[in-house]
Amino acid sequence: MALTSTSPQQVARATIARDITVAPRAGNRGAARRGNDRAAIHAALGNARDAEQSYRAALRKDPLHLESWMGLGQLFDSQGRFAESAACYEKAAAMYPDEISLLMAWGIALKRSGSLADATAVFQKTLAIAPTSVEARCNLGIVLAMQGEVARAEEELRATARLHPDYWDAWNALGTLYARQGRNKDAEQCFDAVLTRNPDQSDAL
C-alpha cells in the first residue's frame, strides 16, 4: 500500500530498511525464534536497549519472522516511538498483508504518530479484509473525526455502536464527537450508554 508519508515516517522507514533487509525467503527460523524469545525477556525486564538489539538481530537471521517484527513494533510503541513502530508494522504487512492484528497495530501507530490519512487507509484496508472488525471500524471513525470529517466519522461510530452495543469505546468516541459539535443531549445519551454498560468507566468520561 502506497501511503502519504510525513517526514518522521520517511526517516523511520529508511532506518528500518537500512538495518534490516527483507530476504525473498525465510532465513534461520530457529535462530530468529531464540533471538525473539531473548528480546521478549529483555522487554519484560525493562531492558529496552537489549530488547531492541535482540529483535533486530533476530530479524537479521530471518527477516520474515513476524513475531520479531511485532515485538520490535510493540517495543517502540511502549517508548512512544510511533513513527518507528509504524515503519516496522508496514514492513511486516508487506509480507503478511492479511494479518489483522498486524494491520490494527500499524493503523494505531500511524494514528498516534499523527499520520491520520495513512491510518485511515490502513483501517479501511483492515475492514475490507475483516468487515466485522469492531476495533477497525471504531478507529476509522476516530481518525476521520480527528481530520474533521464529521459526517463520515459519525456514520462509522454509529455503525459500530449499533452492531456492537457493548463496545464502550464507540459510544465514548461518538459522545465526544457530539460534544465538540455542541450536541450536548446526544453526547449525554452516548455517555449514559457507556455508564450503563461499563459503570467502572465513569472516571474516563
Q: What is the 3-state secondary structure (H, E, C) of 10-59?
A: HHHHHHHHHHCCCCCCCCCHHHHHHHHHHHHHHHHCCCHHHHHHHHHHHH
With CA atoms as reference, report the closest residue to 70 among 87, 82, 88, 53. 88
Asked whether residue 22 carries a pLDDT value surpassing 60, the answer given is no
Angle at 39 between CA 102 and CA 115, to 5 degrees: 35
Share of the chain above pLDDT 90, in %: 77
Task: Round to whole Å and give the CA distance between 103 and 93.
Answer: 7
Q: Is the pLDDT of residue 198 over 70?
A: no
Task: Report the C-alpha gap between 36 and 70 in whole angstroms.
Answer: 10
In this predicted model, what pLDDT tens digit does every residue of 143-173 receive, in sequence order? 999 999 999 999 999 999 999 998 999 999 9
pLDDT, residue 30, reads: 87
Q: Which residues contact 106 (CB under 8 A, 6 or more apart)?
A: 86, 89, 90, 93, 122
Count the neighbouring beta carbons within 10 Å of the beta carbon of residue 108.
22
Residue 7: pLDDT above 80? Answer: no
Mean pLDDT of the chain: 89
CB contact at 8 A, 133 and 108:
no
Cell numbers for 50:
537489549
pLDDT at 31 exceeding the cut of 80: yes
Predicted local distance difference test score (pLDDT) of residue 147: 96
Residue 90 exposed, middle or buried by CB count within 10 Å (0-12, 13-18, 19+): buried
pLDDT at residue 23 in the model: 46
What is the structure's pLDDT at 199? 62
Residue 24 pLDDT: 43
Question: What is the rounded distance in angstroms from the CA atom of residue 48 to the CA atom of residue 194?
Answer: 36
Q: Pick the closest to residue 127 from 162, 103, 144, 93 (CA basis).
A: 103
Ordered DSSP codes for 103-118: HHHHHHHHHHHT-HHH
Query: Is 94's pLDDT higher than 50?
Result: yes
pLDDT digits (tens, 9 = 90+) for 36-87: 999 999 999 999 999 999 999 999 999 999 999 999 999 999 999 999 999 9
CA-CA distance, 155 to 46, in Å (whole number)?
A: 41
